[in-house]
Amino acid sequence: MLEVEDVHTRYGHIEALKGVSLEVRRGEIVTIIGANGAGKSTLLMTICGNPRASAGRILFEGEDITELPTYEIVRRGISQAPEGRRIFPRMTVLENLQMGAVPNGGRYFEEDVEQVFELFPRLRERQHQRGGTLSGGEQQMLCIGRALMARPKLLLLDEPSLGLAPMLVRQIFHSIVEINRTRGLTILLVEQNAYQALRIAHRGYVLATGQIVMEGTSAQLLADPEVRAAYLEGGH
């Protein structure tokens, strides 16, 4: 479904991605793990065309989307719950969800908003509250909910566990698995919380300083001594 071929991304003189290649197949949960600054978020943003890849190709359902403007990429079915959640702070929860529905013109709004509220009942209680006043966990739910409103074919999740209490992390990951199972939604998940991510993913890639250094099924990665030493020890 998504093929990233030898993608390079630069910020001025700094090369954040140095030839990344990966593949996501329909119905999979694929995770990218790696330390802070490895280029995980840059990779997700590059898939959405901001910043643009300086070299390489990105294919989505066989179409080259490397040079498309961000909104065109999003309208082709790639939604992102980005780093830092980026909730619109002076819009209500409902309005944030309406923004998520922009790619399909809000045609399925009533139906989809109901599904998001079923997935995250807290958002129903808070629907008329402004985004900026929500707690971190609620913002994360809203962030994922907003991405789902687009009815994406591929969902990009950037560190959904960041800054959340362990119980909330479990709840969010549970929701991710549920979305994948019940709707068959393909998910590319970026995480520092490698253990949790590998537990729910089918396959994974390890990103270090802008390059893929390892790939395999989640079981393989979980069993790999290097991965264990670098990303899993220290308890999660």
Partner 1 sequence: MYYFLQQLVNGVTLGAMYGLIAIGYSMVYGIIGMINFAHGEIYMIGAFISIISFLLLGILGITWVPLALLLVLLLAMVFTATYGWTVERLAYRPLRGSFRLAPLISAIGMSIFLQNYVQLLQGANVKPLPPVVTGGWVLGRDGTFTVQISNIQVIIIVLTVLLMTVFSWLIAKTPLGRAQRACEQDLKMAALCGVDVDRTISLTFVMGAALAAVAGLMATLYYGVIDFFIGFLAGIKAFTAAVLGGIGSIPGAMLGGLLLGLVEAFWSGYFSTEYKDVAAFCILVVVLIFLPTGLLGKPEVEKV
Question: CA–CA separation, 143 vs 160, rounded Å?
Answer: 9
Over the window 29 to 58, marking each residue x when it contacts partner 1 by CB under 8 A and - when it does not, the resulting string is -------------------x-x--------
Binding mask 105-134 for partner 1 (x = CB under 8 A): xx-----------------------x-xxx
Least Å distance, CB 146 to partner 1, is: 7
Q: Minimum distance between the CB of residue 26 and partner 1, rounded to whole angstroms?
A: 21
CB 77 within 8 Å of CB 60: yes
When asked if residue 100 is in the footprint of partner 1 (CB under 8 A), the reply is yes
Q: How far is the CB of 181 from partner 1 (least distance, A)?
A: 25
CA distances to 69, 89, 157, 164 from 85, rounded to whole Å, are 21, 11, 10, 12
Query: Are 149 and 112 a contacting pair, CB within 8 Å?
Result: yes
CA distance 202 to 79: 20
* CB-CB neighbours of 133 under 10 Å: 14
Q: Identify residues 59-78 at the interface with partner 1 (CB under 8 A).
A: 69-71, 74-75
CA angle 77/81/83 to nearest 5° reads: 135
Binding residues for partner 1 restricted to 131-190, rule: CB under 8 A? 132-136, 139, 146, 150
Task: Report yes or no: 156 and 80 within 8 Å, Cβ to Cβ.
Answer: yes
Which member of 17, 29, 30, 103 binds partner 1 (CB under 8 A)? Answer: 103
Which residue from 98, 192, 211, 220 is in contact with partner 1, where contact means CB under 8 A? Answer: 98
Least distance from partner 1 to the Cβ atom of residue 163, Å = 9
CA dihedral 95, 98, 99, 101 (to 10 degrees): 170
CB of 1 to partner 1, least distance (A): 19
Contact between residue 131 and residue 115 where contact means Cβ atoms under 8 Å apart: no
Report in angstroms how near the CB of residue 88 gets to partner 1 at its nearest.
5
Instruction: List residues near partner 1 by CB under 8 A.
Output: 48, 50, 69-71, 74-75, 79-80, 82, 86, 88-91, 95, 98-100, 102-103, 105-106, 130, 132-136, 139, 146, 150
